[in-house]
Amino acid sequence: QQSTGVVSRKTLTSAGANSRSSPRTADSPRVAASTAASEDEHDSNTHNSTQQPLVSSSSSVARSAVATSDVIISGSGDCGDRNGNKSKHCERPAIVFLRTRIAVLCLLLVSAVVGLITAQSYFNGQPDIPGCAMSYSRPRFVEQTKFDNSWTRFSTKYKLYLYREGGYDAHDEAFRIPILFVPGNAGSHKQVRSIASASATAFMELANNSPDVFDRGQIGYDYFTVGLNEELTALHGYSILEQADFINDAIRYILSLYPETRAKYRLPSQGTRFALPTSVVVVGHSMGGVVARTAFTLPNHIVGSVQAIFTLSTPHNNPTASLEYYVDKVYSSVNSFWRHGFHNGTLDDVSLVSIAGGNLDSMINSDYTYIGDLAPPKNSLSILSSGVDDVWLSLDHQSILWCAQMAKKFSSMLIQIMDARQPSQLLPLDERMSIMRRQLYSDWERGANAAPESLATNRTTNDDYSYVYVHRDGAARLVPEDMQKLLSGDKTNNAGLGVALHLLPVNRATSNSTAQLVYDPRLFATALASGSIAVYQPVLLGCNRIKVASNSAKPETSVTCQTIPAPLPTKLPMRRADDDPELPLYALHYMEVPVSVLEQFEFLGMQLPAKPG
């Protein structure tokens, strides 16, 4: 027992001596005090070692550990233990620190590289190059001070203005056809100036070239615009409802102005009577288009007060940022109303046009602007600005309002559909939809003539066509130049008729609800003797094979066809590998035919006209 105590003391004394002899710990009062205390306590334990040997031994080991640990802690430059061995744990903090520093630097480097690549792609790698010309105007805004709290509960929050173009509008009262502009998320009432100025210019040009313009009911537009306090309607559902409520009140006030002003400002016409307006044309930008459609669902909406809505870069299908529950709820309720409104007769006379900016619009996904699932084709039209004839440009979210090419084309379309002789101040639905398609679509649809006599609605035998071809794989790969030779009589069964029938097999086992048909519109264009181009709408046929008796022993196979409803085509802009990048994007045409219509037929047929003479 005593020897145990002596060994412990030697060990402790040695550790203490080492600590005192170390130049890095000699001045450490903590080590000196710890060593002295350990010796005193050891002497006491040695004196009582006979009675408590186990306690003395364990205490000595513990004290040795404490002393040794004190030496390691105080000796910051020497990571050795009491036997002089290096401790690997002393190197770990430095290594971890170094590795962490390297990892952070690598992460920052990768982030910087990704950021530079993204910026390069965004600013210099866009597939569509901005090509808008700047538009100019001489705007003046007349606040409608009489539109106060007797008309709307939001008179102190929102404002209504009448746009006046310098050099064109001599009066501060509205007496022409009313149009209401609704700005979008954080938008301003002043954003109407480019379109309003272009409309004034377009009408003056029309009036100078057509003396009978007033007799046709074309008297120009008066643009009203609303200041909506630049609210963030994309993020707040209640703001959409409040603005829509204000829009309905503004329309009611605008219509109340015309009994007095139409009598006060008489327009030059030869006995033409202009009807008092019962509806207002609405143009909405971005979320303004959603607000315009929401107005139809509110109790203060006057049925028939809006029969034409034009939206520019409006997210109709989904909100751009679903940050609030009530925004999604408003969207769901409004879209449900519009889907059912065309079936229950509520929206029968309403036309809805959606124009999207395309690739350069980084705020609104162009897919969100599609309205084909909200309104039937006879009431609606969806198109990208890059597919609009005479524009052919992708437009960002703001330039779709001020781009000179777009403003000019949009105003020209509006001028063509006005008719102040009607209470709606517009042409009937079918007529104005036809004009809008001709105005917005390419030259191949513009000025289309009636289908020629040879394109009859029913055919019974192959002899009725110059050429009949069955496309086995369901895809007709036709080159326009070759087709013109084919249809004019070369390589045909009967050169005198000049009508070709192409048959695409119907897949009756498909699970799809529609059959997609993509075709080149130039196949339906023929050059006339006058040098102009006649463009025909495609005729779709449902065809079945029949057996026809013949003089030979083997009966001949022919087809019998009947016309099927042809949906209006939409444009499918594309750039092929051999196209000149300096030229506008070429557009194919696209149709969707319900499979239920084709189930009773073996083939989907298309008739193509021949080149006369």
Token representation of residue 75: 């000796």
**Residues contacting 19, CB < 8 A, separation 6+:** 25, 28, 31, 32, 35, 67, 70, 71
Are 319 and 331 spatial neighbours (Cβ–Cβ below 8 Å)? yes
Catalytic residue chosen out of the listed positions 38, 56, 286, 366: 286
Burial 408-434 (b: 16+ CB within 10 A, else e): bbbbbbbbbbbbbbbebbbbebeebbb
**Residues contacting 100, CB < 8 A, separation 6+:** none
Q: State the DSSP code for 575.
A: -
> Three-class SS of residue 185?
coil
Residue with tokens 């001949």: 556
> Three-class SS of residue 351?
strand
Token representation of residue 514: 């529609």
Residue 197 CA to residue 181 CA, distance in Å, equals 13
Q: Parallel, antiparallel, or unpaired: how do β-strands 603-609 and 499-505 relate?
A: antiparallel
Are 608 and 524 spatial neighbours (Cβ–Cβ below 8 Å)? yes
**Residues contacting 79, CB < 8 A, separation 6+:** 72, 86, 87, 90, 91
Q: Parallel, antiparallel, or unpaired: how do β-strands 603-609 and 539-548 relate?
A: antiparallel
Q: Is 28 a catalytic residue?
A: no
Taking the alpha carbons at both ends of the chain, their separation in whole angstroms is: 131
Residue with tokens 């007769």: 345
Helix H or strand E encompassing 181 = strand 177-182
Catalytic (active-site) positions = 286
